[in-house]
Chain A
Amino acid sequence: MLCIVVCLYSAKLLVALTALNIPAPLVGLVMLFILLHWRIIKPQRLAHTSQFLIKYLPLFFIPVGVGFISDLNTITDNLLLIGLLLTLLPCLVLILVGKLASKGKYRD
C-alpha cells in the first residue's frame, strides 16, 4: 500500500508543479508501472494490495456515482441525446475496433 500511496502523492506533486492537464492517479499508474518494469519494486510485494484494491474498485466510485441525482434535470431534458449516445457509441466503437483488431495476426 505504501508504494501505491507514495506513487500517487509524488504524481500529485509532479502534476501540481508542472501544471500538466493529466489526472494525477494516471501519472501515478505510469510511475508504478515503470517501477515494476525496472524491478525497482518486487511485484510480489504489490500483488496482495493491488488485487484487493482492484477487486473493490467499483465500490470506490459509488459515492461519486450517486451524484448524478444532483443533475437529474439535465438528464431528463436531454433523454434522446443520452439514449442515442448510450446505444450508438458502444455499437460503432465495437464495430470499428472489432474490424481493426481482426486484421491482426495472433499467436495461439
Chain B
Amino acid sequence: MISMLVCLFTILLFIIARKIHLTWPSPLLNPVLICIALISVLLLISGGSYDNYFQASMPIDWFLEPAVVALAYPLYQQYAYIKPVFMLLLVCTFAGISCSTVIAYTLCTLFNANDVLMSTMMALSVTTPITLLITESLGGMPSVAAAMVILIGVFGGVFGMHILTRLKITQPQAKGIALGVSCHAIGTAAAMEHHPLAGAFASAAMILSALISAFWVPVLFTILNHLNT
C-alpha cells in the first residue's frame, strides 16, 4: 500500500516536472533534477530513511534495465546516419570518454580522493542509466555519479552551444557529436533544438558512447591504477 503511494507520488511528480519543462524548456528546469531535489528535501526534512524510500519505489526502479535495452531501437533507427561516419564517431567517443576518465582520475589523485570516491568519478561522460551500472560495477557510489552526470548535462545544456560557437565549429553534425559525448541526454536535447542533424548525431554519439564506456572505462581504470602504483 505504502509502496503504491510512494510510486504514484514519484510518477506524478515526474509528470508535473515534465509538463513544467515542456512549458519552459530550460536545461535548468530538468525534470529529473527537480524530482530528485524535491524528494531528497522531503526525505531530509521528514527524517524519512532513503532505504525505505528505495524499497517502496522498487517497481519504478525495475523498469530502468529494460529501458536501457530499449535504447537499441533508436540506435537501429539512426544506424543509417551513423554508418558513413562510423569510424569518426568511434574515434570521437573513444577520445571523449578517455579524456573524461583520465582527467577525473588525475584530479582525484591530486585531491587524495579515496577509492570509493575515485571509482564514482570514472564514468561521467556517459548517459545516467549507464553511469549507474558502470559505477556500481566499479564499486563507486552510483547515485552520486548519477547526480554528477545530470549536473554535467545541465552545464552542457546551458553553455555547450556557446563553447562550440567560440571554437568556431560550424557543422551541425560536429556540434551534435560533441554535445552527445560530453553532455549526454541534456546535451542531445540542446543539439536537437539547434538543428535536426545535430540532434541525430548527438543521439547516435550518446548511445555509442554508452556502449564504449561499458567496455572501456573499467579497463582504462585498471590501467590507470597500475600506472599509478
Contact = CB atoms under 8 A, between A and B. Distances in A.
A77 to B, nearest CB: 9
B50 A67 contact: yes
A60 B129 contact: yes
A17 interface: no
A101 B177 contact: yes
- Chief secondary structure at chain A's binding surface: helix
Contacts of B137: 21, 23
Interface in B114-129: 116-117, 121, 124-125, 128-129
Chain B interface residue number, banded? 35 or more
Nearest to A95: B167
Contacts of B79: 37
Contact of B68 (A28, A43, A62, A86): A28
Interface in A25-52: 25-26, 28-33, 36-37, 43, 46-47, 49-51
Contacts of A5: 66
Contacts of A8: 65-66, 69
B88 A104 contact: yes
B142 A64 contact: yes
B146 A65 contact: yes
A102 interface: yes
A100 B57 CA distance: 42
A19 interface: no
A23 B214 contact: yes
Contacts of A95: 163, 167
Given A97-B92, A97-B95, A26 B211 contact: yes
Given A62-B39, A95-B163, A25 B169 contact: no
A18 to B, nearest CB: 14
B152 interface: yes
B96 to A, nearest CB: 4
B99 interface: yes
Contacts of B88: 100-101, 103-104
A69 B75 contact: no
Nearest to A100: B92
B91 interface: yes
